[in-house]
Amino acid sequence: MPTLYAWAGGAEALARLTECFYARVRTDALLGPVFERMSAQHPSHVALFLGEVLGGPRAYSEAHGGHPGMLRHHLERHLTEAQRRRWTDLLLDSANEVELPSDPEFRSAFVAYVEWGSRLAVINSQPGASVTLDGPMPTWGWGVPGGPYRPET
Ligand code: HEM
């Protein structure tokens, strides 16, 4: 059974996804100001993080502080639901633009993670939020469909 990471196209596909995504973010009226001080490496770091969650190599854990490292970037950012919704919209638009697999099985698993992670980012970003930093890196799987799309033969 392939991982979601392998099915997506691996590191190269996720790097294309985040380059496309943050290009959109930079020029977006709602999100541009939120990300105006992000580093040049931000897109590649998020690609590594997504790759690890989707079952790829432990690259973010090994070099960028793992799940606690990611969580810390969101603390006290005061993110709003409107910003979160735009973030997920632009990410899914980018998934279409860079042609991540469009089968129902992959996309439903991908959207499930994006909804989960983005909602937690908003919760964790609220003033004084109590955030558990020592939790494990989440690993997402195929969920109820159980595996990638296979056309009937
Ligand atoms: C699944 C959801 C999300 C994931 C996996 C994620 C992942 C990450 C990662 C890995 C970083 C650190 C990047 C680095 O090392 O440079 C980061 C930073 C950040 N994220 Fe997220 N994020 C998510 C959702 C969101 C949402 C919904 C927002 C805003 C609407 C957001 C806003 C930010 C901001 C403002 C930073 C810091 C940018 C800076 O360095 O100036 N994140 N995120």
- Is 134 inside a domain boundary? no
Structure tokens at 72: 């810390």
In a domain, 75, yes or no: yes
**What are the structure tokens assigned to 59, written together?**
């690259």
pLDDT of residue 111: 98
User: CA dihedral in degrees (126, 131, 137, 141; nearest 10)?
Assistant: -60
Q: Is residue 137 part of a domain?
A: no
Torsion of CA 125, 127, 130, 134, to 10 degrees: 40
CATH number at residue 99: 1.10.490.10
| Cut 0.90: pTM above it | yes
Find the domain containing 109 and state its range: 4-124
Under DSSP, the state recorded for 32 is: T
| Res. 73: pLDDT tops 70 | yes
pLDDT tens by residue, 7-61: 999 999 999 999 999 999 999 999 999 999 999 999 999 999 999 999 999 999 9
Which residue has tokens 């799309």? 149
Q: Is residue 141, in this structure, part of any structural domain at all? A: no
Measured from CB, residues less than 6 Å from any atom of ligand 1 are 34-35, 37-39, 41-42, 45-46, 49-50, 64, 70, 73-74, 77, 79, 83-84, 87, 114, 117-118, 121
| Total structural domains within the chain | 1
Domain assignment present for residue 153? The answer is: no
